[in-house]
């Protein structure tokens, strides 16, 4: 029987791709990813049929990692606002802990190499967050979670950039940022 595909190697390729894509963009050569992963050039194509397949998979992997980080705590219990605050704080923390993933995602997000299918699947990972947002906004904004979701993502990005420049103020910025979000959503 042939040797089975190695999960470590696959993970190493994805991890290397995060680093390389973060700094060089999606047009970075696969050779460079292979080198960073410590595998041969051809090995990438043993685990991913094409470079595009690798990039789409990479996007999904990061998105899932974010989604997992957001909902690592039990969210069922309290109010929607309380749950959302947990999500908010977890997201800021994830962003600060994963600068390369954030930058890689920015590169992937504007790339024409992501399929519509990939984007759709990625969105699906955030259903429980959307449910919380729904609970917070009620029927404001036409009951549309999309708008609230964009606002939250945008404010979170602004907050993360601010904390990156002022790392000591995590708690204050996180707290004030959440208040800003609630005000923006008219839920303060």
For DNA, the binding residues (CB under 7 A) are: 1-6, 9, 27-32, 39-47, 50-52
Q: Least CB distance from residue 127 to DNA, whole Å?
A: 32
75, 128 Cβ separation under 8 angstroms: yes
Q: Which residues contact 124 (CB under 8 A, 6 or more apart)?
A: none
42 sits near a copy of itself (criterion: CB under 8 A): yes
Of 119, 157, 170, 175, which lies in the binding site for a copy of itself, with binding defined by CB under 8 A? 157
Listed ranges 29-37, 45-53, 86-94, 148-156: which one lies at the site for a copy of itself (CB under 8 A): 148-156
H or E element: which one contains 95? Answer: helix 80-97
- CA distances (Å), origin 145, targets 66, 95, 120: 19, 22, 16
Rounded to a whole number of angstroms, the minimum distance from the CB of residue 73 to a copy of itself is 25
Question: Which of a copy of itself, DNA, none lies near 29, with the C-beta cut-off 5 to 8 A by kind?
Answer: DNA
Q: Does residue 36 interact with a copy of itself by CB under 8 A?
A: no
> Among residues 149, 96, 97, which one has the least CA distance to residue 126?
149
Rounded Cα gap, residues 167 and 164, in angstroms? 5
181 phi/psi in degrees, rounded to 5: -60, -45
Q: How many Å apart are CA 14 and CA 119, to the nearest integer?
A: 18
Alpha carbon distance 76, 58 (integer Å): 30
C-beta closer to a copy of itself: residue 27 or 73: 27
Residue 41 CB, nearest distance to DNA (Å)?
4
Q: What is the secondary structure of 164-183 as a DSSP string?
A: HHSGGGHHHHHHHHHHHHHH
| Binder of a copy of itself out of 25, 65, 96, 134 (CB under 8 A) | 25
Binding of a copy of itself by 155 (CB under 8 A): yes
Please identify, using beta-carbon distances, which residue of 30 and 159 lies nearer to DNA.
30
Q: Which of 139, 165, 167, 168 binds a copy of itself (CB under 8 A)?
A: 165
Q: Which does 107 bind (CB under 5 to 8 A by kind): a copy of itself, DNA, none?
A: a copy of itself
Residue number with CB closer to a copy of itself (8 or 112): 112
């Amino acid at each position: 029987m042939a040797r089975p595909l190695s999960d470590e190697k696959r993970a190493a390729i994805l991890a290397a791709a995060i680093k390389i894509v973060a700094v060089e963009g999606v047009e970075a050569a696969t050779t460079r990813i292979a080198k960073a992963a410590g595998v041969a050039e051809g090995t990438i194509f043993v685990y991913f049929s094409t470079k595009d397949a690798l990039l789409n998979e990479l996007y999904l992997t990061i998105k899932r990692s974010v989604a997992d980080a957001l909902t690592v705590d039990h969210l069922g219990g309290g109010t929607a606002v309380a749950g959302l605050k947990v999500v908010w704080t977890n997201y800021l923390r994830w962003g600060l802990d994963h600068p390369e993933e954030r930058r890689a995602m920015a590169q992937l997000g504007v790339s024409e190499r992501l399929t519509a299918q990939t984007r759709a699947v990625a969105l699906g990972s955030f259903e429980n967050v959307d449910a919380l947002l729904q609970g917070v906004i009620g029927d404001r904004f036409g009951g549309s979670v999309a708008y609230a979701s964009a606002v939250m993502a945008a404010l979170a990005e602004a907050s993360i950039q601010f904390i990156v420049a002022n790392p000591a103020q995590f708690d204050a910025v996180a707290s004030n940022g959440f208040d800003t979000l609630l005000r923006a959503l008219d839920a303060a």
